[in-house]
Amino acid sequence: MKLKNTLGFAIGSIVAAASFGVLAQGQGAVEGEAFYQKNYNDSVNHVEDGRTAGASIGYFLTDDVEVILGYGKTNYTRSNDGTGSQKIHGDTSSLAGMYHFGTVGDAIRPYVSGGFAHQSMTGVEADGYKGRDSSTFATIGAGAKWYITDNLYARAGVDADYKLDNGKWDYAPTIGLGVNFGGGSKPAPAPAPAPEPVAEAPVEAPVEAAPQVVRVQLDVKFDFNKSVVKPNSYADIKNLADFMKQYPQTSTTVEGHTDSVGPDAYNQKLSERRASAVKQVLVSQYGVGAGRVSSVGYGKTRPVADNKTEAGRAINRRVEAEVEAKAAQ
């Protein structure tokens, strides 16, 4: 039932999607990490295995893809092979991408990574040589992150470096401890089209104020296993916000739904995050009073299409709204 059929206002299709930064490690999050490595130096002559301490900062481009800037300092290695056990110091800067497996909110998320790094180390003084050696190499890695809380994680993995100048590999088991924050920030939505003016339905003189409840199916579909409000959804959400501002006696309950894929408990949480995300847009983005908007999730218990087909499951990944209006006196 369309909202305008009862309250006399064309709000069009109301679109919504999901989680507005509920979990810090989702899209838009920033992660800072301190790490420690054991370096197995096979590519450099006369240098023993060493240790490197460093730090990195990363930004999640999507729920799964993170880009990371890192810096490490090697202070714990020496020369060998009769070169006097000289202390060797080094600095390494890196840029890498990391892909996370699993789902935002999982306690453990395996990952793979790849990128490039540049290293400068003091040279081994031999045969009259003294100075620093520089090397550029490609990096790959794999491991897992354990999210102890939504904002604190530990990491363990193995990184490998391929020296582009001599074609040799080095290896470094790595541990890290990091924090994450932010997430869910979205680009500014495109200007919403002005709602189509519609003449108000004729209203008979009321005997008394009586609440009227209208169910509105929102024309919003979600990507599988996601709860992120897409930019093209804001215009329709704004239409609902404009309607509620025009009719201050209204309140709404946003209801989230999922398809049938996955455990009941997980789908229940996912539907709640989707509904909560739409509420956040109405309140934070468009200024609807928080007391006038509530949210609830129904998981996969209320399908409106056949969950046996992809098209049907896409329809079931939706948000609906229940709008209550008290008749004017």
Domains 3-20+189-326 and 29-182 share a fold: no
pTM over 0.75? The answer is no
For 3-20+189-326, CATH gives 3.30.1330.60
CA–CA separation, 315 vs 262, rounded Å?
16
> Two tokens at 141?
């890695």
Q: For 188, which DSSP code?
A: P
pLDDT in tens, 253-282: 888 889 998 899 999 999 899 888 888 888
Vertex 145: Cα angle to 140 and 151 (nearest 5): 130
What per-residue confidence (pLDDT) applies to 86? Answer: 78
Percentage of the chain with pLDDT > 90? 27
The closest of 325, 293, 287 to 201, measured between CA atoms, is 325
pLDDT in tens, 60-81: 999 899 999 999 988 767 777 7
CB 80 within 8 A of CB 47: yes
> Two tokens at 276?
């909560």
Domain ranges of the chain: 3-20+189-326, 29-182
Sign of CA dihedral 296, 300, 306, 309: positive
pLDDT in tens, 212-257: 666 666 666 667 788 777 777 777 788 888 888 888 888 888 888 8
For 29-182, CATH gives 2.40.160.20
Rg, C-alpha atoms of the chain: 28
